């Protein structure tokens, strides 16, 4: 779909910054949904990343993944568009045992990676920007990332599928009708783009169709290795799953195994929260 045909506007990054200035991104991982997602993504990273990688955590917020990877021995560059979140990361890093592995923590727009040398990273994590970037902006971002990756380097992309996004905005229109008027709902259905009509709540979002995103990655030059839902059939049941982690670890691991065995089913991937694509330059 050509953006001009539907009048799609570019992302208002000031609105994105204002949202993350108020939102507790670090604490999100302490909720049942965030905790389960964190555990599953850490498992994916452990079997996917090479040893002693040089990682760009682009859109990494206050650094939950960056800190984890630094602890695992990787050299990590943390980048985010939010001054607030980068300031939080810098503050937390002062007492971090593996601080030397956090090479840099900088405010960066994912559409401009000119401050980094070409082919300087063996891994790029793109776990936040595609929640906000429209199709055209996503291509620009992916082209920049491609240039910064070494040959054979890995890119891991997290996105919110179109179907999940539509449902989330439909639900938002019910519990926060001031944020979603009829035009905003129509825009999500027609283009995948959401722009909140109020100052509160999630401000700017874009929900990518899986096939469109795969096409973008391949057109830029990436080779796709894997695509799966993260929480999969655990989506919506995170509280009950996480309650079992300590008292019944065997049952907990069985549930994670079931999530893993079903997470690549296309209908599950499209409807069960965030999805992740692993690909290589």
- CA distances from residue 74 to 11, 40, 137, 174 in whole angstroms, order as listed: 32, 19, 29, 44
Q: Which CATH class is domain 3-31+50-232+264-280?
A: alpha beta
> How confident is the model at residue 8, as a pLDDT?
56
Mean pLDDT of each 10-residue bin along the chain, 281 residues long? 48 92 93 97 98 97 98 98 97 96 97 97 97 94 98 97 96 96 96 94 93 95 98 98 97 98 97 97 97
Query: What dihedral do alpha carbons 141, 88, 51, 275 form, nearest 10°?
Result: -50
- Beta strand pairing status for 149-159 and 102-107? unpaired
184 and 169 Cβ atoms separated by less than 8 Å: yes
> How confident is the model at residue 96, as a pLDDT?
96
> How confident is the model at residue 158, as a pLDDT?
98
Residue boundaries of the structural domains of the chain: 3-31+50-232+264-280
Single pTM value for the model: 0.94
70 and 97 Cβ atoms separated by less than 8 Å: no
73: burial class by Cβ within 10 Å (0-12, 13-18, 19+)?
A: exposed
> How confident is the model at residue 9, as a pLDDT?
72
Q: How does pLDDT run across 257-275, given as a tens digit for each residue?
A: 999 999 999 999 999 999 9
- CA distances from residue 110 to 116, 124, 167 in whole angstroms, order as listed: 12, 12, 27
135 and 208 Cβ atoms separated by less than 8 Å: yes
Q: Name residues whose C-beta falls within 8 Å of residue 70's C-beta, 6 or more positions apart in sequence.
A: 76, 96, 98, 99, 101, 102
């Amino acid at each position: 779909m050509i953006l001009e045909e539907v009048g799609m506007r570019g992302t208002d990054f000031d609105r994105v910054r204002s949202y993350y200035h108020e939102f507790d991104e670090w604490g999100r991982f302490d909720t049942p949904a965030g905790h389960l997602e964190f555990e599953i993504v850490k498992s994916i990273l452990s079997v996917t990343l090479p040893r002693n990688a040089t990682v760009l955590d682009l859109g990494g917020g206050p650094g939950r993944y960056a800190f984890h990877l630094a602890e695992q021995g990787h050299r990590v560059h943390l980048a985010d568009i939010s001054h607030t979140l980068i300031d939080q990361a810098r503050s937390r890093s002062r007492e971090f045992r593996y601080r030397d592995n956090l090479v840099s923590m900088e405010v960066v727009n994912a559409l401009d990676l000119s401050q980094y040398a070409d082919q300087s990273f063996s891994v790029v994590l793109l776990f936040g920007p595609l929640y906000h970037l429209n199709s055209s902006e996503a291509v620009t971002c992916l082209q920049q990332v491609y240039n910064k990756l070494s040959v054979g380097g890995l890119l891991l992309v997290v996105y919110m599928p179109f179907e999940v996004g539509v449902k989330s905005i439909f639900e938002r229109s019910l519990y926060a009708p001031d944020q979603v008027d009829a035009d905003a709902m129509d825009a999500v259905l027609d283009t995948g783009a959401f722009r909140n009509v109020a100052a509160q709540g999630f401000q700017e979002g874009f929900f990518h169709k899986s096939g469109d995103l795969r096409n973008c990655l391949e057109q830029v030059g990436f080779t796709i290795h894997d695509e799966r839902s993260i929480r999969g059939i655990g989506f919506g049941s995170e509280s009950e799953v996480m309650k079992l982690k300590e008292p019944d670890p065997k049952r907990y691991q069985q549930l994670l195994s079931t999530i893993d065995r079903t997470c690549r089913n296309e209908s599950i991937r499209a409807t069960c929260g965030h999805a992740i694509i692993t690909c290589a330059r």
